[in-house]
Structure 1
């Protein structure tokens, strides 16, 4: 079993094509390309952590793509996921829909893991920085205590910034990135 990470897929979100200059003619082409890119690198025995913002638009159709993706899928919710706690008291009502769509697990907003023997923090949000000019979601960001952070949210802003590693699909050719690649970046970002 291999472990992969990704973020910011935005299935069903037509405007993300323009916002992030994704090379697709329409949302249907984008959604199919995302499924194909994922399944090119992930097997049924692998585990993929999705660090938020998996689907938008009409969730009945956009979330259905999750079931087409190989591997065991773990969601760390982001601001565009309806099950994200920051979306208010009804967020919990959506957890079942995400599980029914194909996620094996939905975690808390901030998770601590080990990657290549090093402790890392996993969250949708970076320690600092945003995909917009305003620095939003301060209350939902992890506290920077010197550990490497795997995150999404910033789309095309960077792949590596200090101790922050962006696993968003926009900077990884729309594919989940494996721990073999990330372990080297963890060292470059300040891990041992």
Structure 2
């Protein structure tokens, strides 16, 4: 079995035409956007690698369900989803299209893993206090599109952060400028 790496990302917003102007992204069309994100994802993620997606995987889930499934099938790795606000219906339930995708485990509101010798707390929304914070755990989040700075050992891992460059990143890449003991 090959060496398995873990990657983190958020806010891909596949199929979300308005993201091109709401959160300026450098693409002429949503098709160009989606193709670029798929290419960037697959440039680093291997088939056996793990990818934690911290929400807002796709938009237009009713209208473009087949396209969302097609995009998902093109992305390498074993994928886990932490639900974001665009992954749920108006009642807060996971959208049927999201649930129909072959995630490694059912999508959840939070997820925990260990990486870099630390406990990692994963959520779509930034938290100012998180589990095991006083014991050195790390908190990765999305949603804020770079408009909310991390505090302590927390940070936004969204695709539109300057240091992620639309690419899933490893724990080491995301924490390289931190003083971790």
TM norm structure 2: 0.82
Paired position in structure 2 for 1:170: 160
> Secondary structure of 1:14's partner?
coil
State how many pairs are aligned. Answer: 171
Paired position in structure 1 for 2:116: 116
Please say if residues 7 and 53 of structure 1, whose CA atoms lie closer than 8 Å, have aligned partners that are also in contact: yes
The offset of 1:11, in angstroms, is: 0.4
The offset of 1:158, in angstroms, is: 5.5
Aligned-partner Cα distance in 2 for 1:120–1:107: 17
Paired position in structure 2 for 1:135: none
Question: What 5-or-longer segments of structure 1 have no aligned partner?
Answer: 129-140
Please say if residues 74 and 104 of structure 1, whose CA atoms lie closer than 8 Å, have aligned partners that are also in contact: yes
Q: RMSD in angstroms over aligned alpha carbons?
A: 2.5
Please say if residues 125 and 142 of structure 2, whose CA atoms lie closer than 8 Å, have aligned partners that are also in contact: yes
Q: Which aligned segments of 4 or more residues in structure 1 are displaced greater than 6 angstroms? A: none
Paired position in structure 2 for 1:40: 43
Please say if residues 87 and 98 of structure 2, whose CA atoms lie closer than 8 Å, have aligned partners that are also in contact: no
Q: 1:158 to 1:36 in 2, by over 3 A?
A: farther
Question: What 5-or-longer segments of structure 2 have no aligned partner?
Answer: none
Q: 1:3 to 1:159 in 2, by over 3 A?
A: farther
Aligned-partner Cα distance in 2 for 1:22–1:71: 25
1:11 maps onto 2:14 in alignment = yes
Aligned-partner Cα distance in 1 for 2:50–2:149: 21
Q: How do 1:36-185 residues align onto structure 2 when only pairs under 5 Å count?
A: 36-57=39-60, 58-60=63-65, 61-82=67-88, 87-88=90-91, 91=93, 94=96, 97-127=97-127, 145-146=133-134, 147-157=137-147, 160-171=150-161, 172-184=164-176
Higher helix share: 1
Please say if residues 35 and 68 of structure 1, whose CA atoms lie closer than 8 Å, have aligned partners that are also in contact: yes
Q: After superposition, what is the alpha-carbon deviation per residue over 1:120-169, rounded to whole angstroms, capped at 9, x for unaligned?
A: 211010015xxxxxxxxxxxx95794442101001132674433211100
